[in-house]
Amino acid sequence: PPPPPAVTSSEYVRNYGLANVKVQSAWQSGATGAGVTVAVVDSGVANTLTELEGRISGASTDVVAGRNTPYVESSSHGTRVSGVIASNFNGFGAIGVAYQSTILSIRTDISDCEDKDDKVCFSSSDLVRALDYAVANGVKIINMSLGGDGRLGSAFEAALLRAVNAGAVIVASSGNDGEANPGWPARYAVDPRFAGGVIAVGSHGATNVMSSFSNKAGDTAGAYISAPGEEVVTGCEGTSCWRVNGTSFSAPHVSGALALLMQAFPNLTARQALAILVDTARDAGDPGADIVYGRGLLDLAGAFRPVGTSATPMADGSKLITQTAPGSFVGAAFGDAFGRQNALNTVLFDGYGRMFAVQLGGAYPTAPSRSYQAAPFEQNTTAATTLALPGGGRLNLIAAQPSPTPEPVAPRHDLYDAPWMGDEPRQEAMLDLETGRMNFSVWQGKGGAASPFDGAAGDGFAALAQADRAVRGAMRFGALTVSAESGGGDRRMPLRHVEQDAATYNRASIGWRGADGGLSFSVGALDERLGPLGAFLPGGSDFALPSRTRFYALGGDWSLTPGLRLIGEAGLGSTRIEGRFLSMDRAAISSNWRLGLLADCSALCGRVSFTLAQPLRIESGTFSAYLADVPIDYFDPLTYSRRSFSAAPSGRQIDVILGGERDLRDGSSVTLQAVASRAPRHVADAAPEFALIGGWRRRF
């Protein structure tokens, strides 16, 4: 299909109402109203207007007995109403909401009005004929930009019931008297006989404020929405257009929206389409349905998104609930692997049974960027007790918690240390037993306390567990140390309950330490219930990816010359993942490494460091899924196929880190660190990132 009207075109910008109802969301999905007919029960339509050329049904009629004049002058009320719905996309004038829909004009107006101030009015008997004519022609959307103060009689109500029972919906303007309740027939919207089949439509302006002339929602609040009705441009002819006001021009915005929905989702009934518009209206006024705006403002962006519980059909007949927890993300090692693939294109069905094409990779957003902000200094109070044991052993008990401080004027919080998490203080305790060659330690922390068991190769993998408890045992044999370690942690995220036992790790290490340096080799396993390599994908979601990683790491340091030390570490991981629909045929291989020099400095600094590092990155691995194909036609039967995509990201992040530290004469020290990252987050075309971190510390 041709591209939709551009939001910068003169046709589009001429009417603020198009942007106000977010019609571009519908147009971009391919909806134009083509093939959908809207009945306009009004004062007739001009069939010579270029703006409506090709838009007027040949079945348009005049139901007033003895007149037979369905087509009228271009200035008629019915022409202007029809223009809001279906004005052509033709390079001039204005654009209708559903610019390729068809108008069935049913002329119903009479001139012998009881009120001498009215030039056009309608009789109940003619409205009965109009409704029946629309139903007889199979029309499901009936626009009635008309109204009065009283009920329209039993004959009209019977015709209205026939229309509703035939599957039609009636879009009725609320009226222009500035009253607390709509006029009739809009007030039938909450009559139980017609519930769900009639909608009352009020008017708001460009600032979303209810128009002063518009009748408010009042007792129809549950079946009332508002649409643009001030300064609406319509009925264009040549270079001349009408600029009109009234709820008469709010109602056709809703009728056009219904036409877009019913074309885009042909499985919908008109009543379902109307329910979607009501359910997705933007809240305005008081929260929820209120007596001014009713359910809110017409919003096609919301209407063209899935509504209710959405699910993707699986080949075995089950359904995949396409909903992820707020804040979910995959581990940073995957970079943009999920976002740049198109293998996970499939379909989902929302609560109304509408089919949407969807890219399931969007349910796996990349990990948030690393924050270089240094944690604020926190003075701790530490208590330590040492007990001597027989044979020269010692039992050490250590506990620490923040020292009392004055309450800050404005407490500082971040996403991981916030009032909704209980604002836990950072506390930790450790029991350490030393006897002969053996050492055994148990540690418990909370409030973000970091595990003290680091320094061995493989820390990059073990840290992903975010442990808040760990045990470690070690045996020394001269220069060799053999150790085993196990730990685990809970995960806490903003506005979510704590995920208990989110990850655990086990690690065994052997280390050698000589006079000039040392080496350490570790093997271990990392179990992550919430997803691989630091991901946050809660287990209650069908998108969860529980994983197990085996890792191997070698690290060490060596004194090259006095005052110059080389440090390095390299790690390799093998991760197996088995999700609800996404799995790996073979384990994913990951790596990380760092290489650095530490040097004493006698000029401007005391110590300087230079480091090159690659954060953890997936090197190889393939995800696969068996998913429904997107059908060519909406009602084509679904077929299924197996898809695969690489788990490796497009780029490789390399960090260059330069650091310096200098002790000052007053006993304090200053540190400075500069970081430059190429291809940050392992995204090949990402702009480089830079950080500069400085600090000053003094002991008292």
Q: Give me the DSSP letters along 225-283.
A: EEEE-SSEEEEEETTEEEEE-SGGGTHHHHHHHHHHHHHH-TT--HHHHHHHHHHTPBP
Phi, psi (deg, nearest 5) at residue 299:
-145, 100
Q: Give the model confidence (pLDDT) of 493-511 as tens digits.
A: 665 677 888 899 999 999 9
pLDDT at 1: 63
- Angle CA(374)–CA(379)–CA(382) in degrees, nearest 5? 125
Section 413-435 average pLDDT: 66
pLDDT at 580: 85
Q: Give the model confidence (pLDDT) of 22-58 as tens digits.
A: 999 999 999 999 999 999 999 999 998 999 999 999 9
The overall pTM is greater than 0.85: no
**Out of 53-62, 111-120, 524-533, least confident range:** 111-120
**163 pLDDT more than 70:** yes
Comparing CA positions, the residue from 135, 66, 148 lying closest to residue 104 is: 135
Domains of the chain: which residue ranges?
10-303, 309-374+505-700
pLDDT at 558: 93
- CA distances to 450, 498, 500, 507, 538 from 490, rounded to whole Å, are 13, 7, 5, 19, 12
**398's tokens:** 């250590």
pLDDT: which is higher, 577 or 120: 577
Section 279-300 average pLDDT: 96
Most confident option among 73-77, 283-287, 401-405, 696-700? 283-287
Instruction: Report how far apart the first and last C-alpha atoms of the chain are (Å, whole number).
Output: 74
pLDDT at 604: 67
pLDDT band at 413 (very low <50, low <70, confident <90, very high): very low
pLDDT at 115: 66
Instruction: State how far Cα 59 lies from the chain centre.
Output: 45
pLDDT at 377: 59
pLDDT band at 188 (very low <50, low <70, confident <90, very high): very high
**150's tokens:** 């009283």
Radius of gyration of the chain (CA): 35
Section 280-292 average pLDDT: 95
pLDDT at 540: 74
pLDDT at 494: 60
Q: Give the model confidence (pLDDT) of 402-412 as tens digits.
A: 666 555 555 54
**CATH entry 3.40.1390.30 includes domain 10-303:** no
pLDDT at 328: 84
